[in-house]
């Protein structure tokens, strides 16, 4: 074998390796972006459910205007920003919705209202889907970041323009111990 043939084989192997690794990074990056899009879809679904829920509760609890304004404000803040910003706004909205459901407890007619019960169930289902989407997103971020950090990809991954994604973490309020009193 001539030296030129060996050099050509080594260069071809290196080029093939870079292509395969680059394509793997692109695939994982697209999965992360798809997972972020899934989160947006679920947040949009919840965004659309909230006005109906608020209007139903408003009919029963007309004097709770401050709470309704807060829900509306939190809902509006979810419309813009990055996925992380939307998740943060979503967490704040979840806290406000807990107050809304607490108000609903004071109105027995509202608790028995089929529309309210269905909307509450839909909202709970959507919240579960948001959490599942967040777990899916974090799993894809883990896979992408791991691929970017391991040898030999860590040597040239950043030079190819790839950067790590951030994980979605629980809000500080959700990390606190739950206080239970009997």
Is residue 130 classed exposed, middle or buried when 0-12, 13-18 and 19+ CB atoms within 10 A define those classes?
buried
Output the pTM of the full model. Answer: 0.70
Whether the bond between 152 and the residue before it is cis, its omega within 30 degrees of 0, is yes
Of 118, 45, 105, 113, the residue nearest 75 (C-alpha):
45
What's the CATH number where 132 sits?
1.20.1440.20
Range of the domain at 44: 3-163
Query: Domain for residue 40, yes or no?
Result: yes
| Helices vs strands, H then E, count in the chain | 7, 0
Residue with tokens 């030296």: 3
Q: Which residues contact 47 (CB under 8 A, 6 or more apart)?
A: 75, 78, 79
Domains held by the chain: number: 1
Spatial contact of 28 and 147, defined as CB atoms under 8 Å apart:
yes
In order along its 182 residues, the chain shows pLDDT tens digits of: 689 999 999 999 999 998 999 999 999 999 999 999 998 888 888 888 888 777 777 666 665 666 667 777 777 777 677 777 777 777 777 777 777 777 677 767 766 677 777 878 888 888 899 889 999 999 999 999 999 999 888 888 888 899 999 998 876 655 566 554 54
């Amino acid at each position: 074998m001539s030296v030129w043939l060996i050099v050509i084989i080594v260069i071809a192997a290196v080029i093939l390796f870079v292509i395969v690794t680059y394509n793997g990074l692109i695939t994982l990056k697209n999965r992360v972006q798809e997972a972020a899009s899934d989160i947006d879809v679920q947040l949009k679904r919840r965004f659309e459910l909230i006005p109906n829920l608020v209007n139903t509760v408003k009919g029963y609890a007309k004097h709770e205007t401050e709470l309704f304004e807060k829900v509306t404000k939190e809902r509006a803040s979810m419309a813009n920003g990055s996925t992380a910003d939307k998740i943060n706004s979503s967490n704040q909205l979840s806290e406000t919705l807990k107050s809304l459901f607490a108000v609903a407890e004071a109105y027995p007619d509202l608790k028995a209202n089929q529309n309210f019960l269905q909307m509450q169930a839909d909202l709970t289902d959507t919240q579960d889907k948001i959490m599942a989407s967040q777990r899916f997103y974090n799993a894809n971020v883990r896979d992408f970041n791991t691929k970017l950090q391991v040898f030999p990809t860590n040597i040239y991954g950043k030079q190819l323009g790839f950067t790590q994604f951030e994980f979605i973490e629980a809000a500080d309020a959700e990390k606190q111990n739950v206080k239970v009193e009997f």
